[in-house]
Chains A and B, each alone.
Chain A
Amino acid sequence: MTPPAGQHGPRSERSHDPVVERSHGSVSEGSHGSRLDPWTKAYAQRTAGMNASEIRALFAVASRPEVVSLAGGMPYLAALPMETVAAAVAQMLATQGLTALQYGSGQGDPVLREQILEVMALEGISAHADDIVVTTGSQQALDLVTRIFIDPGDVVLAESPSYVGALGVFAAYQAQVAHVTSDDDGLVPQALEERILGLLAAGARIKFLYTVPNFHNPAGTTLSAQRRPQIIEICRRHGILVLEDNPYGLLGFDREPYDAMRSLSQEGVVYLGSFSKTFAPGLRVGWALAPHAVREKLVLASESAILCPSAYAQMTVSTYLATCDWKAQIKVYRELYRDRRDAMIESLGALLPQATWTHPDGGFYVWLTLPEGLNSKAMLPRAVTERVAYVPGTAFFADGTGHRNIRLSYCYPDPDRIRVGVRRLARVVQAELELRETFGPYDAMAAGAGPSHGVQSPAPDLS
């Protein structure tokens, strides 16, 4: 492969040079720079943030068993009845292999789409299977929705903080993210109204509100039942679509799920669902439920991106739903994650009195706020030395804020490991407090930290 005309990179030119003289000495006239990547000038603007980062490098140690990782988001799959699943999948492949290994429909397996209706019914959604588009994880649905709605510079409204994986998609489509104040009950309706008015007055094109209403990643909070219709109404009034991302909705610990926002508005909401948290993230099966006109475009966009979602993966999910007691399995997960949440909250209470945190009643995450003047990003190397990992809060903001915050996950480590992890984290915080006492508060802007240009989220396979 050669670079296109006019894009000849320095590296490719250099490779045609005569061998550089080995002796040190004269300035070589042929000496010219290399960027180690002949395509440097060819990349699209949207590639600008796709860089190596110190933070991401530090996550490399988190996969080692010596390190207690409170950084990842991997579901605890060991709780699955693996033998039962294996037998069912083997049977499926033996009897329906020619379909499972063939191209499938771009919109997704019709049988699975019918089953997805049953799953969504648990959160008050009544819909038609025709309006479901099965995707490669709900992450792809997020990508497709963004692709069909966002032109560069368009505004996406999002909670503060917001899901780092969504922020990555929005950045890739050059959207501007406007964070909206959120509290323990999720998005604050009045703050949303004011934010919208301010943006509109400034001439912004607001396309949609992205929200994770249940057991938020990373905040651990849930949008209250009272606020749901208010948020829907504000968006309806301003002609703003709601993108409801709900991977954790069925993983509540203490109560039945709230009705989904989609149950309150068929036309104003695109709903994203996933089997990654309730069954198997490795299969990459998620979906979008959209108003019919939007759904038509999502199907075409998905076909142009991937032709069709994996038939094998969809049929595996379909088989699981049809032959295993998936509701009982969800109950197993709820209890397991509740124990882990309890271990984390208890440990935080005992060991980190200087900090504050959210109290999730479902999902995977606790959102911690450090004492004033500490910086979670600057502190991460110390945590790695202490063999505990977390995700700094800055990853969850598009505007470079979040320095005092930390996302802690309790989904993967068992309760004993969680306690060890929090104990180590407490030592880290104590050492940073001593530094603050000596040097004063950490000033991210003075330290040149600003909004980061590198990728700060851990890879999906981090435990």
Chain B
Amino acid sequence: MTHVRHGRQVMVLAGGLSHERDVSLRSGRRVADALTRSGTETHIRDVDSTLLSAIRSSPPEVIWPVLHGATGEDGALGDLLGSLGIAYVGSSPSSCRLTWDKPVAKALVRAAGVSTPAGVALSHATFRELGAHAVLELVVDALGLPLVVKPSRGGSALGLTIVRSAAELPSAMIAAYAYGDIVLIERLVEGVEVAVSIVEDEHGQPQTLPAVEIVPDGGVYSYEARYTAGATEFFTPARLSSGAAASAAAASLCAYRTLGHRHLSRVDLIIDGDDRPWFLEANVSPGMTETSLFPMAVEAAGLDASGVYAGVAERALATPGPPDPA
């Protein structure tokens, strides 16, 4: 993998005002440390009302938005950086928008031939119009139990509840609506939970890294399980048959291409008892913290994070105009 030339300036964006600010700050510091170790001149910056003028007055060569949630992942920032003509790491604005909206991403990936748990995305207005009881009853009849309830946008399992009885559903809906206006209710697919990280090689070809298998202590990969070291057991590579591992990689690459991702991303899957991968969601700005899956996959691949991240920054310079998804 090529390394960013010494003397390049990378601005890592971390923080912002989203619910995942804390995760973003930690991710950003890790990425910046790794880039600095690679010899790249790197500085970290929060996203606030002075950012755009600061970029305009002293533009870095590359911007790496290590932002989770809202502005970072919804494509808005990419649009603005594109207008400024600055190379940046990550997927195009339209690709971000498709990925950020989980129901949209699921529909696209399903149309491309990858299974995804049956689900329904509903606004609060729908419940008000049709009556919560009737809607929830229909949802449970149609999807069965258990269910996964989560905000249609956002990450880190914030607002996510596993619902095992219909009585738990209303409160799970309230918890999810606290994070956003649309809530996704999905059938829970039992199986092995894995995350497949993808990074472009120096030729711009996406390469899958070894799948990381996630076994949280409480059975749910919640916020606490994600960010408390020790609360989750990870297996790298995942304990999958060779066939299942190949299917997981293929499904992840399919999602990456279908959603028009660029440079790097992470795809979260369940591998069921028949070795079939189920697409849950994709992340254009995967977590990069000490307990995050992308860095774990990099290490499992025998690669050095500094080299990989420097390569990503180099790719951003080489591909200033992000492609739009098909």
- A residues adjacent to B (C-beta < 8 A): 10, 19-22, 24-28, 31-37, 39-40, 43, 51-54, 56-58, 60-61, 64, 66-67, 375, 378-382, 384-385, 387, 432, 434-436, 438-440, 442-444, 446-449, 453-454
Contact = CB atoms under 8 A, between A and B. Distances in A.
Among all A-B residue pairs, the 3 with the closest Cβ atoms: A19-B302, A60-B22, A447-B171
Contacts of A37: 229-230
Nearest to A19: B302
B124 A434 contact: yes
Contacts of A382: 177-179
Contacts of A438: 124, 127-128, 132
A35 B178 contact: no
Contacts of B224: 51-54, 453-454
Given A53-B223, A66-B48, A443-B167, 13 more contacts: A27-B240, A34-B235, A36-B296, A51-B228, A53-B224, A54-B222, A56-B22, A60-B21, A61-B21, A385-B19, A440-B170, A446-B168, A447-B175
A25 B159 CA distance: 34
Nearest to B136: A439
Interface string B192-236: 000000000000000011110001000000111011111111111
Interface string B122-150: 00100110001000000000000000000
Interface stretch (B51-59, B80-88, B95-103, B243-251): B243-251
5 contacts: A22-B210, A31-B235, A52-B228, A382-B178, A442-B175
A446 B227 contact: no
B140 to A, nearest CB: 14
A381 B48 contact: no
Given A31-B236, A380-B178, A447 B48 contact: no
Contacts of B248: 24
B200 to A, nearest CB: 15
Contact of B171 (A22, A31, A67, A442): A442
B178 A381 contact: yes
Nearest to A36: B229
Contacts of B174: 375, 378, 432, 435-436, 439, 442, 447
Contacts of B226: 52
B175 A33 contact: no
B313 to A, nearest CB: 21
Nearest to A443: B171
Nearest to B244: A27
A408 B177 CA distance: 23
Nearest to B70: A385
Among A19, A27, A375, A387, the most chain B Cβ lie within 10 Å of the Cβ of: A27
Nearest to A18: B302
B17 interface: yes
Given A35-B232, A36-B230, A51-B228, A384 B19 contact: yes
B35 to A, nearest CB: 22
A20 B237 contact: yes
B173 interface: yes
Interface in B276-326: 290-291, 296, 300-303
B223 A52 contact: yes
Contacts of A384: 19
Given A57-B22, A439-B127, A448-B168, A35 B245 contact: no
Main secondary structure of the interface of B (DSSP, over half): mixed
Among B124, B177, B179, the most chain A Cβ lie within 10 Å of the Cβ of: B177
Contacts of A28: 237
Interface in B1-45: 15, 17-23, 25
A112 B127 CA distance: 64
A37 B215 CA distance: 15
Contacts of A439: 127, 132, 170-171, 173-174
Contact of A25 (B222, B235, B246, B290): B246
Interface in B53-100: none
Interface in B162-189: 162, 167-168, 170-175, 177-179
A21 B232 CA distance: 23
Given A27-B242, A382-B178, A442-B171, A57 B234 contact: no
Contacts of B228: 51-52, 454
B158 interface: yes
Contacts of B173: 435, 439
Nearest to B299: A20
B229 A35 contact: yes
B242 A54 contact: no
Among B22, B224, B227, the most chain A Cβ lie within 10 Å of the Cβ of: B224
B231 A51 contact: yes
A378 B20 contact: no
Contact of A20 (B17, B236, B249, B290): B236
A33 B159 contact: no
B235 A32 contact: yes
Contacts of A57: 19-23, 156, 158, 223, 227
A33 B291 CA distance: 14
Nearest to A30: B237
A83 to B, nearest CB: 30
B161 interface: yes
B234 A35 contact: yes
Nearest to B49: A66
A58 B17 CA distance: 10
A346 to B, nearest CB: 28
B169 to A, nearest CB: 8
A66 B17 contact: yes
B300 A20 contact: yes
A58 B228 CA distance: 15
B246 A34 contact: no
Interface string B239-262: 111100110110000000000000
B124 A25 contact: no
Contacts of A380: 178
Contact of B208 (A24, A43, A375, A443): A24
Contacts of A453: 224
A325 to B, nearest CB: 40
B2 to A, nearest CB: 18
Contacts of A381: 19, 158-159, 178-179
B5 to A, nearest CB: 26
B290 A36 contact: yes
Contacts of A432: 174, 178
Given A379-B178, A447-B168, A36 B25 contact: no
B319 to A, nearest CB: 23
Contacts of A25: 242, 245-246
Contacts of A442: 170-171, 174-175
Contacts of A436: 174
Contact of A64 (B23, B48, B209): B48
